[in-house]
């Protein structure tokens, strides 16, 4: 047998299975029976991306299978092997989709099966920043459970997203290894066809972030090859079906690493750089990273537990925690302070107060930590930028959970982590190492004081921290787009969304919500050639919509010509583009002459007739979509929010939770702009209406200002 024979045979086998499954389903339910995968706007994502045709019922699926057949050419060229691989993947998608018929839930814990669009959007930012440097697909059972788990753990410790298919899932369970999306180890399913669920993630990333047009198969494969750092680890024994799936992976640019020397030899199947034999499981990690050219950022931190972004989403339950610091109950705070170089002894970590081992298990305490920095280029404006990163730094500690910021923080430390030797000073070690590492351009010296003494925490919170926070807030609120001379571009997301540019201004933060004007300024000063560049705004074209000749020039340059011109303050005329990692999307709701906003966390319906993920599918990819706009939560209360269309008075609907989050600031803005008190009471939410008619009735009853404003369209 040659590689050709094996792939073709595997492809034929899966095709036969798929054909039978579809025929049986049609016989039982009729060709009109609807089929879909849940929580995606691209159903069926892989088939749609490759062909440009959506499949919505069994009859269409049968017709699609006919199209798949045309890919299954049988010449003995490498291209036929790859296309048969793609055909096998598409068949797998059909088989998996049939499992979801009638709203069935075919997967149960720990397996995930199909992953929602929302999951992909969440992965966007960390993939862009390199916090997730790669995606591993582990298929089959390792020679021993321990070797399997060790491999999973090695990737996890590097921040690599791990997906599991088949026997490796049982091996993790057998050794009690924790899996789940929150720790970035995602068991997909035990059948080999479930591997399609990770392929589907890569493919939807191309549609969501890359603006790849459905049907552009060549563009799709180029995108996944260049921008999705995935690879496959397939354990022996390989069979025909696995090899055929592997050919599909290689077609997308994902190398396959296996320990099955005999099979690869038998079929003389070496595909340079793409099908690689590595008999030593402990070297799978290194071989895979090399094959996919993945570089791991190494941060050496002197702590007794692991430190990796994979632990960021880890949750520590009450029963598992050793101690808790809770700023909602007692005095806590975190603060960065700029000092003179002479006041700082580099890498000095002081603990002021009792250490964690003197606390009772499960008890609550005060904590405060001050990170003192000095450097010739340090500016007090950067303090809040550093501080905002503490959340992510501390969460990367295995067995440590951090929420909130400023004086409203909460930290839990797990029993396991405590037992491994983690103490108060290690919080200082983490902050020291990360601040020195990431802000090396401006921080020359750094020391950390960790206070656990309750009285000290109370005193410093009220006399040191709160006054600093107040002063900063004053500076921020007094900062307007008019009060500064320059804006900043951000192209951080171009790794995924090649033509997207955010223009960041004091009153309009980046749509991901994570890059304010100050952040962009700091990023620029820390790395002048980096993702944030200065944009002047001297040549006004149209004040009303916020259009400037110099901003347009910058956008043209940074989008490599993909974008001609943008406005800063309009959703209709030349709106800013979206990459895919927006916190919120707003879209026009014609009946009420206003806009509805949905945030990422909101899973329900909006009166526009679309869910967040459906709205998102119209908005991403770095293209302008008048009438729809991605934006940060903070932008909602800005005086520049849709200023061209009349401002925040256009907001007619928001999910309740989002409304509560922004209420205080939004009400202030509405009072100032229009003299309206408690504006948010006039805005609908899901408890009021999920359709335009009910919403309109509510708005009329409340006398919402949008109803009497100029028509939007």
- Residue that the structure tokens 């950390």 belong to: 448
Q: Does 699 bind ligand SF4 (CB under 6 A)?
A: no
Which is closer to ligand SF4, CB of 186 or CB of 515?
515
Nearest approach, Cβ of residue 629 and ligand SF4 (Å)? 13
Cα angle: 106, vertex 107, 110; to 5 degrees:
170
3-state helix, strand, coil in the chain (%, to 5): 45, 15, 40
DSSP annotation of 171 reads H
Which is closer to ligand SF4, CB of 310 or CB of 492?
492
Cα angle: 526, vertex 568, 536; to 5 degrees:
45
- Pick from Ni ion, ligand SF4, none: which does 132 bind, CB < 5 to 8 A by kind? none
Site for ligand SF4 in 479-498 (CB under 6 A): 490-493
Q: Is 48 exposed, middle or buried (0-12, 13-18, 19+ CB in 10 A)?
A: buried
Q: Does 71 bind ligand SF4 (CB under 6 A)?
A: no
> Measured between alpha carbons, how far is 420 from 312 in angstroms, rounded to an integer?
19
Q: Does 208 bind ligand SF4 (CB under 6 A)?
A: no
> Measured between alpha carbons, how far is 222 from 217 in angstroms, rounded to an integer?
9
Q: Does 6 bind Ni ion (CB under 5 A)?
A: no
Question: Cβ(198)–Cβ(205) under 8 Å?
Answer: no
Q: In degrees rounded to 5, what are phi and psi of residue 502?
A: -95, 135
Site for ligand SF4 in 510-529 (CB under 6 A): 510-512, 514-515
Nearest approach, Cβ of residue 348 and Ni ion (Å)? 25
- Pick from Ni ion, ligand SF4, none: which does 503 bind, CB < 5 to 8 A by kind? none
Which is closer to Ni ion, CB of 310 or CB of 695?
310
Q: Does 90 bind ligand SF4 (CB under 6 A)?
A: no
With contacts defined by CB under 5 A, name the span among 72-80, 434-442, 493-501, 621-629 that binds Ni ion. Answer: 493-501
- Residue that the structure tokens 């099908």 belong to: 275
| Both structure tokens of 518 | 């100050």
Contacts 24+ apart (CB under 8 A), 67-70: 68/15, 69/15
- Pick from Ni ion, ligand SF4, none: which does 395 bind, CB < 5 to 8 A by kind? Ni ion
Residues 6+ apart with CB under 8 A from 104: none
Nearest approach, Cβ of residue 636 and ligand SF4 (Å)? 16
Which is closer to Ni ion, CB of 379 or CB of 403?
403
Site for ligand SF4 in 306-345 (CB under 6 A): none
- Pick from ligand SF4, Ni ion, none: which does 510 bind, CB < 5 to 8 A by kind? ligand SF4
Which is closer to ligand SF4, CB of 8 or CB of 517?
517
- Supply the Cα-derived Rg of the chain in whole angstroms: 27
Site for Ni ion in 579-598 (CB under 5 A): 579, 581
Residues in contact with ligand SF4, shown as a per-residue x/- string from 579 to 618 under the rule CB under 6 A = x-x-------------------------------------
Maximum Cα interatomic distance, the chain, rounded to a whole number of Å: 82
Site for Ni ion in 296-315 (CB under 5 A): 311, 314
Collapsing DSSP to helix, strand or coil, 503 comes out as strand
Residues 6+ apart with CB under 8 A from 28: none
Strands 256-258 and 230-234: parallel
Which is closer to Ni ion, CB of 4 or CB of 311?
311
- Pick from Ni ion, ligand SF4, none: which does 502 bind, CB < 5 to 8 A by kind? ligand SF4
| Both structure tokens of 139 | 């298929």
Give 187's strand partners: 164
- Scanning 318-380, the segments in alpha helix (DSSP H) are none
Which is closer to ligand SF4, CB of 332 or CB of 504?
504
Nearest alpha carbon to residue 583 among 514, 494, 496: 514
Q: In degrees rounded to 5, what are phi and psi of residue 411?
A: -130, 130
Could you please report the per-residue DSSP string of 166-202? Answer: THHHHHHHHTT---BGGGTEEEEESSGGGGHHHHHHH
Cβ-count burial 199-211 (b if 16+ within 10 Å, e if not): bbbbbbbbbbbbb
Which is closer to Ni ion, CB of 65 or CB of 301?
301
> Measured between alpha carbons, how far is 136 from 161 in angstroms, rounded to an integer?
6
Which is closer to ligand SF4, CB of 133 or CB of 248?
133
- Pick from Ni ion, ligand SF4, none: which does 515 bind, CB < 5 to 8 A by kind? ligand SF4
Give the number of residues in contact with Ni ion, rule: CB under 5 A: 7
- Pick from ligand SF4, Ni ion, none: which does 400 bind, CB < 5 to 8 A by kind? Ni ion
Nearest approach, Cβ of residue 210 and ligand SF4 (Å)? 14
Alpha-carbon dihedral angle through residues 610, 615, 618, 621, given to the nearest 10 degrees: -160
| CA 672, 677, 680, 684 torsion-angle sign | negative
Question: Cβ(502)–Cβ(582) under 8 Å?
Answer: no
Give the number of residues in contact with ligand SF4, rule: CB under 6 A: 13
Nearest approach, Cβ of residue 242 and ligand SF4 (Å)? 37
Q: Does 493 bind Ni ion (CB under 5 A)?
A: yes
- Pick from Ni ion, ligand SF4, none: which does 511 bind, CB < 5 to 8 A by kind? ligand SF4
Q: Does 127 bind ligand SF4 (CB under 6 A)?
A: no
Distance of CA 686 to the CA centre of its chain: 25
Which is closer to ligand SF4, CB of 510 or CB of 575?
510
Nearest approach, Cβ of residue 684 and ligand SF4 (Å)? 28
Which is closer to ligand SF4, CB of 129 or CB of 680?
129
Site for Ni ion in 368-407 (CB under 5 A): 395, 400
Which is closer to Ni ion, CB of 303 or CB of 344?
303
Nearest alpha carbon to residue 333 among 450, 236, 244: 450
Q: Does 502 bind ligand SF4 (CB under 6 A)?
A: yes
**By the criterion CB under 6 A, which residues form the site for ligand SF4?**
490-493, 502, 504, 510-512, 514-515, 579, 581
**By the criterion CB under 5 A, which residues form the site for Ni ion?**
311, 314, 395, 400, 493, 579, 581
């Amino acid at each position: 047998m040659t590689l050709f024979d094996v792939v073709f045979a595997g492809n034929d086998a899966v095709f036969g299975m798929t054909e039978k499954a579809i025929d049986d389903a049609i016989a039982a339910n009729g060709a009109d029976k609807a089929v879909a995968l849940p929580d995606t706007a691209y159903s069926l994502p892989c088939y749609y991306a490759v062909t440009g045709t959506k499949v919505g019922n069994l009859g269409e699926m049968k017709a699609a299978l006919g199209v798949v057949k045309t890919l299954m050419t049988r010449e003995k060229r490498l291209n036929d092997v790859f296309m048969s691989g793609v055909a096998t993947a598409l068949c797998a998608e059909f088989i998996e989709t049939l499992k979801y018929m009638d709203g069935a839930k075919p997967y149960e814990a720990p397996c995930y099966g199909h992953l929602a669009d929302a999951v992909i959007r969440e992965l966007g930012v960390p993939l862009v920043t390199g916090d997730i440097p790669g995606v591993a697909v582990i298929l089959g059972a390792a020679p021993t459970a321990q070797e399997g788990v060790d491999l999973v753990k090695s990737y996890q410790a590097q921040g690599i997203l791990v997906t599991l298919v088949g026997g490796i899932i049982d091996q993790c369970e057998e050794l009690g290894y924790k899996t789940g999306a929150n720790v970035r180890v995602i068991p997909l399913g035990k059948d080999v066809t479930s591997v399609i669920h990770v392929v589907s993630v890569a493919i939807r990333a191309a549609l969501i972030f890359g603006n790849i047009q459905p049907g552009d198969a060549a563009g799709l494969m180029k995108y996944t090859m260049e921008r999705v750092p995935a690879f496959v680890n397939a354990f022996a024994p390989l069979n025909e079906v696995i090899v055929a799936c592997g050919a599909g992976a290689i077609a997308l640019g994902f190398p396959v690493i296996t320990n099955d020397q005999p099979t690869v030899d038998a079929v003389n199947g070496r595909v340079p750089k793409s099908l690689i034999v590595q008999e030593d499981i402990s070297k799978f990690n290194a071989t895979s990273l090399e094959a996919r050219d993945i570089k791991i950022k190494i941060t050496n931190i002197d702590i007794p537990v692991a430190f990796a972004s994979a632990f960021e989403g880890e949750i520590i339950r009450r029963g598992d925690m050793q101690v808790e610091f809770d700023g909602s109950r007692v005095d806590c705070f975190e603060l960065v302070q700029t000092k003179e170089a002479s006041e700082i002894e580099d890498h000095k970590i002081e603990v002021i107060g009792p250490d964690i081992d003197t606390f009772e298990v499960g008890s609550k305490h005060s904590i405060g930590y001050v990170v003192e920095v000095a450097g010739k280029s340090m500016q007090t404006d950067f303090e809040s930028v550093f501080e905002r990163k503490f959340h992510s730094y501390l969460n990367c500690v295995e067995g440590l959970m951090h929420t909130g910021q400023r004086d409203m923080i909460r930290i839990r430390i797990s029993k396991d982590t405590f037992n491994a030797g983690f103490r108060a000073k290690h919080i200082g070690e983490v902050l020291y190492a990360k601040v020195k590492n990431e802000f090396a351009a401006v921080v020359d010296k750094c020391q950390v004081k960790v206070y656990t003494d309750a009285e000290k925490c109370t005193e410093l919170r009220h006399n040191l921290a709160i006054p600093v926070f107040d002063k900063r807030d004053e500076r921020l609120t007094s900062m307007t787009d008019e009060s500064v001379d320059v804006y900043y571009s951000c192209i951080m997301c171009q790794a995924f969304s090649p033509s997207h540019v955010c223009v960041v201004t004091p009153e309009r933060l980046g749509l991901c919500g994570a890059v304010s004007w100050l952040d962009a300024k700091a990023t620029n000063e820390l790395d002048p050639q980096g993702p944030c560049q200065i944009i002047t705004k001297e040549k006004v074209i149209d004040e009303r919509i916020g259009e400037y000749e110099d901003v347009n020039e910058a956008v043209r340059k940074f989008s490599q010509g993909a974008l001609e011109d943008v406005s800063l303050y309009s959703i209709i005329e030349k709106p800013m583009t979206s990459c895919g990692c927006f916190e919120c999307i707003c879209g026009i709701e014609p009946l009420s002459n206003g806009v509805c906003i949905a945030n990422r966390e909101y899973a329900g319906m909006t009166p526009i007739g679309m869910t967040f993920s459906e709205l998102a599918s119209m908005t991403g990819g770095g293209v302008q979509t008048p009438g729809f706009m991605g934006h940060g939560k903070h932008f909602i209360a800005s005086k520049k929010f849709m200023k061209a269309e009349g401002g925040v008075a256009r907001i007619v609907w928001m999910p309740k939770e989002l409304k509560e989050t922004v209420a205080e600031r939004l009400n202030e803005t509405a009072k100032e702009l229009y003299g309206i008190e408690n504006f948010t009471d006039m805005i609908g939410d899901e408890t009021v209406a999920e359709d335009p008619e009910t919403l309109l009735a509510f708005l009329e009853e409340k006398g919402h200002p949008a109803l009497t404003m100029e028509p939007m369209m």
